[in-house]
Amino acid sequence: MKKNWIVSLLTVFIVSIMLSACSNGEDKNTITFWTPLTGDDGAYMDQIVKSYNETNPEFKVKHVVTADMYTKISTVLNSGKGIPDLAIIHADRVPGYVKQGALEPIETAISGQPEIKEENYLPQAWSTGNIGGTQYTVPLDIHANTMYYNKDLLKKYSVESFLDDNVVTIDEMLSLQGKLDEGQYVVNDALLGWVILAQVQDLGGDIQENGKPAVDTPVMKQAFENVKKIADAGLMTPFGEDGYLMFQSGNVLFSTDGTWTSTAHAAVEGLNFGVTNIYSPTPDKFTNRASSHLFAMLGNEKRTNEKEAGIGAFLEYVRENSMEWAKAGQIVASKQVIENPEFQNYMQSFFTANQQEIDSLYIYTYEYYPYVAEAVDTYCADIVRGNVDLDETLKTMQKFVEDKIAESSKTTTN
Protein backbone atom coordinates (compact mmCIF):
# COMPACT_ATOMS: atom_id res chain seq x y z
CA MET A 1 0.00 0.00 0.00
CA LYS A 2 2.89 2.28 0.83
CA LYS A 3 4.38 1.62 -2.59
CA ASN A 4 1.04 2.37 -4.29
CA TRP A 5 0.73 5.60 -2.30
CA ILE A 6 4.20 6.74 -3.43
CA VAL A 7 3.38 5.91 -7.05
CA SER A 8 0.13 7.85 -6.80
CA LEU A 9 1.91 10.84 -5.28
CA LEU A 10 4.53 10.83 -8.03
CA THR A 11 1.79 10.60 -10.65
CA VAL A 12 -0.01 13.63 -9.21
CA PHE A 13 3.29 15.53 -9.07
CA ILE A 14 4.15 14.75 -12.70
CA VAL A 15 0.67 15.65 -13.91
CA SER A 16 0.83 18.94 -12.01
CA ILE A 17 4.13 19.78 -13.67
CA MET A 18 2.72 18.92 -17.07
CA LEU A 19 -0.40 21.05 -16.52
CA SER A 20 1.73 23.91 -15.30
CA ALA A 21 3.93 23.65 -18.37
CA CYS A 22 0.89 23.57 -20.62
CA SER A 23 -0.55 26.60 -18.86
CA ASN A 24 2.69 28.54 -19.18
CA GLY A 25 2.98 27.51 -22.78
CA GLU A 26 -0.54 28.72 -23.47
CA ASP A 27 0.22 32.13 -21.91
CA LYS A 28 3.48 32.33 -23.80
CA ASN A 29 1.77 31.73 -27.13
CA THR A 30 -1.45 33.66 -26.45
CA ILE A 31 -2.00 37.38 -26.97
CA THR A 32 -4.15 38.66 -24.13
CA PHE A 33 -6.35 41.39 -25.61
CA TRP A 34 -8.38 43.75 -23.40
CA THR A 35 -11.25 45.88 -24.71
CA PRO A 36 -13.93 48.05 -23.06
CA LEU A 37 -16.54 46.69 -25.51
CA THR A 38 -19.22 45.75 -23.00
CA GLY A 39 -22.14 46.22 -25.41
CA ASP A 40 -23.15 44.38 -28.55
CA ASP A 41 -19.92 45.54 -30.17
CA GLY A 42 -18.04 43.10 -27.94
CA ALA A 43 -19.73 40.21 -29.76
CA TYR A 44 -18.60 41.56 -33.12
CA MET A 45 -15.02 41.78 -31.83
CA ASP A 46 -15.36 38.22 -30.52
CA GLN A 47 -16.20 37.12 -34.05
CA ILE A 48 -13.20 38.91 -35.54
CA VAL A 49 -10.91 37.27 -32.99
CA LYS A 50 -12.50 33.86 -33.55
CA SER A 51 -12.05 34.14 -37.32
CA TYR A 52 -8.42 35.13 -36.85
CA ASN A 53 -7.71 32.23 -34.51
CA GLU A 54 -9.21 29.86 -37.08
CA THR A 55 -6.35 30.80 -39.43
CA ASN A 56 -4.11 28.91 -36.96
CA PRO A 57 -1.66 31.75 -36.23
CA GLU A 58 1.48 31.17 -34.19
CA PHE A 59 0.05 33.43 -31.48
CA LYS A 60 -3.67 33.10 -30.89
CA VAL A 61 -5.65 36.00 -29.45
CA LYS A 62 -7.74 35.86 -26.28
CA HIS A 63 -10.34 38.64 -26.22
CA VAL A 64 -11.20 39.82 -22.71
CA VAL A 65 -14.02 42.35 -22.36
CA THR A 66 -13.05 44.41 -19.34
CA ALA A 67 -15.64 46.53 -17.56
CA ASP A 68 -14.16 49.71 -16.02
CA MET A 69 -11.10 48.99 -18.13
CA TYR A 70 -9.23 52.24 -17.53
CA THR A 71 -9.34 51.77 -13.76
CA LYS A 72 -8.05 48.22 -14.18
CA ILE A 73 -5.31 49.42 -16.52
CA SER A 74 -4.09 51.78 -13.81
CA THR A 75 -4.12 48.93 -11.32
CA VAL A 76 -2.10 46.48 -13.41
CA LEU A 77 0.37 49.13 -14.53
CA ASN A 78 1.01 50.12 -10.91
CA SER A 79 1.43 46.50 -9.81
CA GLY A 80 3.30 45.34 -12.91
CA LYS A 81 1.19 42.17 -12.90
CA GLY A 82 -1.52 41.04 -15.29
CA ILE A 83 -0.75 43.63 -17.96
CA PRO A 84 -2.47 42.65 -21.22
CA ASP A 85 -0.42 42.24 -24.37
CA LEU A 86 -2.79 44.38 -26.42
CA ALA A 87 -5.67 46.72 -25.61
CA ILE A 88 -8.20 48.94 -27.32
CA ILE A 89 -8.18 52.47 -25.92
CA HIS A 90 -10.02 55.62 -26.96
CA ALA A 91 -8.27 58.39 -28.85
CA ASP A 92 -8.51 60.92 -26.04
CA ARG A 93 -6.48 58.63 -23.75
CA VAL A 94 -3.37 58.56 -25.93
CA PRO A 95 -1.71 61.90 -25.01
CA GLY A 96 -2.06 61.31 -21.28
CA TYR A 97 -0.87 57.71 -21.44
CA VAL A 98 2.15 58.69 -23.52
CA LYS A 99 3.01 61.46 -21.07
CA GLN A 100 2.82 58.95 -18.21
CA GLY A 101 5.01 56.48 -20.11
CA ALA A 102 2.20 53.92 -20.06
CA LEU A 103 2.31 53.06 -23.78
CA GLU A 104 4.97 51.37 -25.85
CA PRO A 105 5.40 52.47 -29.46
CA ILE A 106 3.45 50.20 -31.79
CA GLU A 107 6.17 50.51 -34.42
CA THR A 108 8.05 47.44 -33.17
CA ALA A 109 4.95 45.27 -33.56
CA ILE A 110 4.11 46.45 -37.08
CA SER A 111 7.64 46.60 -38.47
CA GLY A 112 7.03 43.31 -40.31
CA GLN A 113 3.69 44.48 -41.75
CA PRO A 114 4.41 46.91 -44.61
CA GLU A 115 0.71 47.61 -45.30
CA ILE A 116 0.05 48.92 -41.80
CA LYS A 117 0.88 52.50 -42.64
CA GLU A 118 -0.74 55.92 -42.57
CA GLU A 119 -2.00 55.99 -46.16
CA ASN A 120 -4.03 52.82 -45.62
CA TYR A 121 -6.18 54.32 -42.84
CA LEU A 122 -8.51 57.28 -42.37
CA PRO A 123 -6.08 60.14 -41.66
CA GLN A 124 -7.45 61.47 -38.37
CA ALA A 125 -7.74 57.94 -36.96
CA TRP A 126 -4.08 57.27 -37.69
CA SER A 127 -2.70 60.65 -36.65
CA THR A 128 -4.39 60.67 -33.25
CA GLY A 129 -1.97 57.91 -32.22
CA ASN A 130 1.12 59.82 -33.33
CA ILE A 131 2.78 61.78 -30.55
CA GLY A 132 6.01 63.64 -31.22
CA GLY A 133 6.59 61.69 -34.42
CA THR A 134 6.23 58.29 -32.74
CA GLN A 135 3.33 55.99 -33.61
CA TYR A 136 1.76 54.50 -30.50
CA THR A 137 -1.45 53.05 -31.92
CA VAL A 138 -3.10 51.43 -34.94
CA PRO A 139 -6.73 52.48 -35.49
CA LEU A 140 -9.72 50.18 -35.62
CA ASP A 141 -12.42 52.73 -36.34
CA ILE A 142 -13.91 56.17 -36.05
CA HIS A 143 -17.18 56.39 -34.15
CA ALA A 144 -18.97 59.68 -34.48
CA ASN A 145 -21.85 61.79 -33.34
CA THR A 146 -24.41 61.74 -36.12
CA MET A 147 -27.94 62.95 -36.78
CA TYR A 148 -30.66 60.51 -37.78
CA TYR A 149 -33.85 61.85 -39.30
CA ASN A 150 -37.39 60.55 -39.48
CA LYS A 151 -38.30 60.49 -43.18
CA ASP A 152 -42.03 60.37 -42.51
CA LEU A 153 -41.98 63.44 -40.25
CA LEU A 154 -39.84 65.44 -42.69
CA LYS A 155 -42.43 64.68 -45.35
CA LYS A 156 -45.33 65.44 -43.00
CA TYR A 157 -43.98 68.94 -42.32
CA SER A 158 -42.75 69.48 -45.90
CA VAL A 159 -39.14 70.06 -44.89
CA GLU A 160 -37.31 67.43 -46.90
CA SER A 161 -35.40 70.37 -48.40
CA PHE A 162 -33.50 70.70 -45.12
CA LEU A 163 -31.40 67.78 -46.38
CA ASP A 164 -30.67 69.13 -49.86
CA ASP A 165 -27.14 70.22 -48.90
CA ASN A 166 -26.69 67.65 -46.09
CA VAL A 167 -26.45 70.51 -43.58
CA VAL A 168 -29.44 71.20 -41.34
CA THR A 169 -28.99 74.65 -39.83
CA ILE A 170 -30.28 75.97 -36.53
CA ASP A 171 -32.30 78.59 -38.41
CA GLU A 172 -34.00 75.83 -40.42
CA MET A 173 -34.93 74.10 -37.20
CA LEU A 174 -36.24 77.34 -35.71
CA SER A 175 -38.47 77.84 -38.76
CA LEU A 176 -40.65 75.01 -37.43
CA GLN A 177 -41.55 76.87 -34.24
CA GLY A 178 -45.29 76.68 -33.67
CA LYS A 179 -45.83 74.31 -36.62
CA LEU A 180 -45.51 70.91 -34.97
CA ASP A 181 -48.28 68.79 -33.55
CA GLU A 182 -48.45 68.53 -29.78
CA GLY A 183 -46.01 65.93 -28.48
CA GLN A 184 -43.70 66.16 -31.48
CA TYR A 185 -40.30 67.85 -31.53
CA VAL A 186 -37.61 68.89 -33.97
CA VAL A 187 -34.61 67.41 -32.14
CA ASN A 188 -33.75 65.46 -29.02
CA ASP A 189 -30.86 65.97 -26.60
CA ALA A 190 -29.00 62.71 -27.26
CA LEU A 191 -25.23 63.12 -26.81
CA LEU A 192 -25.81 66.83 -26.17
CA GLY A 193 -22.24 67.35 -24.94
CA TRP A 194 -20.90 66.01 -28.22
CA VAL A 195 -23.21 68.39 -30.10
CA ILE A 196 -21.91 71.38 -28.13
CA LEU A 197 -18.30 70.48 -28.89
CA ALA A 198 -19.17 70.21 -32.59
CA GLN A 199 -20.64 73.72 -32.46
CA VAL A 200 -17.36 74.99 -30.97
CA GLN A 201 -15.54 73.73 -34.06
CA ASP A 202 -18.20 75.14 -36.40
CA LEU A 203 -17.62 78.56 -34.82
CA GLY A 204 -13.88 78.32 -35.37
CA GLY A 205 -13.04 77.77 -31.72
CA ASP A 206 -11.18 75.19 -29.66
CA ILE A 207 -11.12 73.80 -26.13
CA GLN A 208 -7.53 74.82 -25.39
CA GLU A 209 -5.26 77.80 -25.84
CA ASN A 210 -1.51 77.25 -25.68
CA GLY A 211 -2.04 73.98 -23.84
CA LYS A 212 -4.37 75.52 -21.24
CA PRO A 213 -8.06 74.53 -21.08
CA ALA A 214 -10.36 77.05 -22.76
CA VAL A 215 -13.90 76.49 -21.52
CA ASP A 216 -15.02 79.90 -20.27
CA THR A 217 -14.68 81.54 -23.68
CA PRO A 218 -16.88 83.62 -26.01
CA VAL A 219 -16.96 80.73 -28.51
CA MET A 220 -18.15 78.20 -25.93
CA LYS A 221 -20.77 80.71 -24.79
CA GLN A 222 -21.97 81.19 -28.36
CA ALA A 223 -22.13 77.43 -28.91
CA PHE A 224 -24.42 77.05 -25.90
CA GLU A 225 -26.54 80.05 -26.88
CA ASN A 226 -27.08 78.66 -30.38
CA VAL A 227 -28.33 75.31 -29.09
CA LYS A 228 -30.30 76.99 -26.31
CA LYS A 229 -32.36 78.82 -28.95
CA ILE A 230 -33.80 75.48 -30.03
CA ALA A 231 -34.79 74.54 -26.49
CA ASP A 232 -36.18 78.03 -25.77
CA ALA A 233 -38.39 77.71 -28.86
CA GLY A 234 -39.91 74.52 -27.46
CA LEU A 235 -38.44 72.44 -30.28
CA MET A 236 -36.19 70.18 -28.17
CA THR A 237 -37.52 67.14 -26.33
CA PRO A 238 -38.48 68.01 -22.72
CA PHE A 239 -35.88 68.06 -19.97
CA GLY A 240 -35.76 64.70 -18.20
CA GLU A 241 -37.50 62.83 -21.01
CA ASP A 242 -35.69 60.10 -22.96
CA GLY A 243 -35.34 61.86 -26.30
CA TYR A 244 -33.63 58.83 -27.83
CA LEU A 245 -36.67 56.65 -27.23
CA MET A 246 -38.95 59.49 -28.34
CA PHE A 247 -37.17 59.44 -31.71
CA GLN A 248 -37.64 55.70 -31.95
CA SER A 249 -41.33 56.12 -31.16
CA GLY A 250 -41.71 58.43 -34.16
CA ASN A 251 -42.21 61.78 -32.40
CA VAL A 252 -38.91 63.53 -33.15
CA LEU A 253 -37.57 64.70 -36.51
CA PHE A 254 -33.86 64.49 -35.63
CA SER A 255 -31.84 62.39 -33.16
CA THR A 256 -28.23 63.39 -32.41
CA ASP A 257 -26.88 60.08 -31.18
CA GLY A 258 -24.05 57.93 -32.53
CA THR A 259 -23.08 55.97 -35.63
CA TRP A 260 -23.11 52.84 -33.46
CA THR A 261 -26.86 53.18 -32.73
CA SER A 262 -27.93 52.68 -36.34
CA THR A 263 -28.37 48.99 -35.55
CA ALA A 264 -30.74 49.77 -32.66
CA HIS A 265 -32.81 52.15 -34.79
CA ALA A 266 -32.98 49.57 -37.58
CA ALA A 267 -34.50 47.09 -35.15
CA VAL A 268 -37.48 49.36 -34.46
CA GLU A 269 -40.40 48.23 -36.57
CA GLY A 270 -41.87 50.99 -38.72
CA LEU A 271 -39.12 53.54 -38.06
CA ASN A 272 -38.35 55.03 -41.49
CA PHE A 273 -35.08 56.86 -40.94
CA GLY A 274 -31.92 58.12 -42.62
CA VAL A 275 -28.66 59.75 -41.55
CA THR A 276 -27.05 63.15 -42.01
CA ASN A 277 -24.61 65.51 -40.29
CA ILE A 278 -25.01 67.18 -36.90
CA TYR A 279 -26.86 70.48 -37.19
CA SER A 280 -24.78 73.61 -37.58
CA PRO A 281 -25.15 77.38 -37.10
CA THR A 282 -24.12 77.88 -40.72
CA PRO A 283 -24.50 75.95 -43.98
CA ASP A 284 -20.86 76.67 -44.79
CA LYS A 285 -19.33 74.37 -42.16
CA PHE A 286 -20.40 71.27 -40.29
CA THR A 287 -18.64 69.08 -37.75
CA ASN A 288 -19.35 65.59 -36.47
CA ARG A 289 -17.50 65.21 -33.18
CA ALA A 290 -15.82 61.81 -33.20
CA SER A 291 -13.50 59.47 -31.38
CA SER A 292 -11.57 56.37 -32.34
CA HIS A 293 -10.93 52.90 -30.97
CA LEU A 294 -7.20 52.30 -31.17
CA PHE A 295 -5.02 49.21 -30.71
CA ALA A 296 -2.25 49.94 -28.23
CA MET A 297 0.43 48.12 -26.26
CA LEU A 298 0.72 49.03 -22.59
CA GLY A 299 4.20 49.05 -21.12
CA ASN A 300 5.19 45.48 -20.32
CA GLU A 301 8.77 44.26 -20.06
CA LYS A 302 7.63 40.64 -20.20
CA ARG A 303 6.20 40.94 -23.70
CA THR A 304 8.61 39.22 -26.09
CA ASN A 305 9.66 40.38 -29.55
CA GLU A 306 8.02 37.26 -30.97
CA LYS A 307 4.72 38.08 -29.32
CA GLU A 308 4.90 41.66 -30.62
CA ALA A 309 5.34 40.25 -34.11
CA GLY A 310 2.26 38.13 -33.42
CA ILE A 311 0.36 41.29 -32.48
CA GLY A 312 1.42 42.82 -35.80
CA ALA A 313 0.06 39.79 -37.65
CA PHE A 314 -3.28 40.16 -35.86
CA LEU A 315 -3.49 43.88 -36.67
CA GLU A 316 -2.82 43.15 -40.33
CA TYR A 317 -5.63 40.61 -40.31
CA VAL A 318 -7.96 43.22 -38.84
CA ARG A 319 -6.89 45.76 -41.45
CA GLU A 320 -7.97 43.38 -44.20
CA ASN A 321 -10.91 41.68 -42.50
CA SER A 322 -12.83 44.14 -40.33
CA MET A 323 -16.04 44.34 -42.36
CA GLU A 324 -17.52 42.51 -39.38
CA TRP A 325 -16.85 45.66 -37.35
CA ALA A 326 -19.05 47.67 -39.72
CA LYS A 327 -21.96 45.54 -38.48
CA ALA A 328 -21.50 47.26 -35.11
CA GLY A 329 -22.27 50.61 -36.74
CA GLN A 330 -18.66 51.75 -36.74
CA ILE A 331 -16.80 53.68 -39.43
CA VAL A 332 -13.98 51.22 -40.06
CA ALA A 333 -10.59 52.96 -40.21
CA SER A 334 -9.05 50.64 -42.81
CA LYS A 335 -9.37 52.08 -46.31
CA GLN A 336 -9.31 48.58 -47.75
CA VAL A 337 -12.60 47.94 -45.93
CA ILE A 338 -14.38 51.25 -46.50
CA GLU A 339 -13.47 51.25 -50.18
CA ASN A 340 -15.02 47.80 -50.58
CA PRO A 341 -18.49 48.12 -52.23
CA GLU A 342 -19.91 45.96 -49.45
CA PHE A 343 -19.31 48.81 -46.97
CA GLN A 344 -21.96 50.85 -48.79
CA ASN A 345 -24.55 48.50 -47.28
CA TYR A 346 -23.94 50.13 -43.92
CA MET A 347 -25.50 53.47 -43.01
CA GLN A 348 -22.29 54.95 -41.60
CA SER A 349 -20.72 54.78 -45.07
CA PHE A 350 -22.39 58.21 -45.48
CA PHE A 351 -19.41 59.64 -43.59
CA THR A 352 -16.82 58.27 -46.01
CA ALA A 353 -18.74 59.08 -49.19
CA ASN A 354 -16.50 62.05 -50.03
CA GLN A 355 -13.59 64.04 -48.65
CA GLN A 356 -15.81 66.70 -47.12
CA GLU A 357 -17.60 64.08 -45.03
CA ILE A 358 -14.32 62.46 -43.97
CA ASP A 359 -12.98 65.88 -42.96
CA SER A 360 -16.08 66.53 -40.86
CA LEU A 361 -15.11 63.73 -38.45
CA TYR A 362 -13.30 65.72 -35.77
CA ILE A 363 -11.34 63.96 -33.02
CA TYR A 364 -10.14 66.10 -30.13
CA THR A 365 -6.52 65.30 -29.24
CA TYR A 366 -5.96 67.82 -26.45
CA GLU A 367 -4.24 66.12 -23.52
CA TYR A 368 -6.93 67.20 -21.05
CA TYR A 369 -9.87 66.69 -23.36
CA PRO A 370 -11.43 64.04 -21.06
CA TYR A 371 -11.80 66.66 -18.33
CA VAL A 372 -13.28 69.22 -20.72
CA ALA A 373 -15.73 66.64 -22.03
CA GLU A 374 -16.69 65.68 -18.47
CA ALA A 375 -17.38 69.31 -17.61
CA VAL A 376 -19.48 69.86 -20.74
CA ASP A 377 -21.44 66.63 -20.21
CA THR A 378 -22.07 67.49 -16.55
CA TYR A 379 -23.49 70.96 -17.12
CA CYS A 380 -24.74 71.13 -20.72
CA ALA A 381 -28.32 69.96 -20.14
CA ASP A 382 -28.97 72.51 -17.38
CA ILE A 383 -27.39 75.30 -19.44
CA VAL A 384 -29.40 74.55 -22.58
CA ARG A 385 -32.65 74.29 -20.60
CA GLY A 386 -32.00 77.57 -18.84
CA ASN A 387 -31.84 75.99 -15.38
CA VAL A 388 -28.58 77.78 -14.55
CA ASP A 389 -26.89 81.05 -15.43
CA LEU A 390 -24.68 80.55 -18.49
CA ASP A 391 -21.87 82.94 -17.56
CA GLU A 392 -21.56 81.67 -14.00
CA THR A 393 -21.70 78.05 -15.10
CA LEU A 394 -18.96 78.55 -17.69
CA LYS A 395 -16.75 79.86 -14.87
CA THR A 396 -17.67 76.79 -12.80
CA MET A 397 -16.80 74.52 -15.72
CA GLN A 398 -13.45 76.23 -16.25
CA LYS A 399 -12.55 75.73 -12.59
CA PHE A 400 -13.83 72.14 -12.76
CA VAL A 401 -11.34 71.36 -15.53
CA GLU A 402 -8.47 73.24 -13.92
CA ASP A 403 -9.02 71.41 -10.62
CA LYS A 404 -9.06 68.06 -12.43
CA ILE A 405 -5.78 68.89 -14.16
CA ALA A 406 -4.16 69.95 -10.88
CA GLU A 407 -5.34 66.76 -9.18
CA SER A 408 -4.05 64.67 -12.08
CA SER A 409 -0.67 66.38 -12.02
CA LYS A 410 -0.36 65.79 -8.28
CA THR A 411 -1.21 62.09 -8.72
CA THR A 412 1.26 61.68 -11.58
CA THR A 413 4.02 63.37 -9.54
CA ASN A 414 3.35 61.17 -6.53
CATH number of 30-140+292-363: 3.40.190.10
Assess whether the region 30-140+292-363 and the region 144-290+368-413 belong to the same CATH fold.
yes
Specify the DSSP class assigned to residue 301.
T
Please write the tens of the pLDDT for every residue from 309-368: 999 999 999 999 999 999 999 999 999 999 999 999 999 999 999 999 999 999 999 999
C-alpha span between 368 and 326 (Å, rounded): 30
Predicted confidence at residue 25, as pLDDT, reads 39
Predicted confidence at residue 7, as pLDDT, reads 43
Please write the tens of the pLDDT for every residue from 42-93: 999 999 999 999 999 999 999 999 989 999 999 999 999 999 999 999 999 9
What are the residue ranges in the chain where pLDDT is below 70?
A: 1-27, 411-414
Predicted confidence at residue 28, as pLDDT, reads 83
Predicted confidence at residue 138, as pLDDT, reads 98
Tell the burial category of 141 from Cβ atoms under 10 Å away from its Cβ (0-12, 13-18, 19+). Answer: buried
C-alpha span between 223 and 147 (Å, rounded): 17
C-alpha span between 407 and 396 (Å, rounded): 16
**What are the sequence ranges of the domains in the chain?**
30-140+292-363, 144-290+368-413
Neighbours of 127 (CB within 10 A): 17
CATH fourth-level superfamily of 144-290+368-413: Periplasmic binding protein-like II (3.40.190.10)
Entry pTM: 0.90
Predicted confidence at residue 18, as pLDDT, reads 39
- Angle at Cα 340 formed by Cα 279 and Cα 126, nearest 5°? 65
CA 72 to chain CA mean position, Å: 19
Amino acid identity, position 317: Y
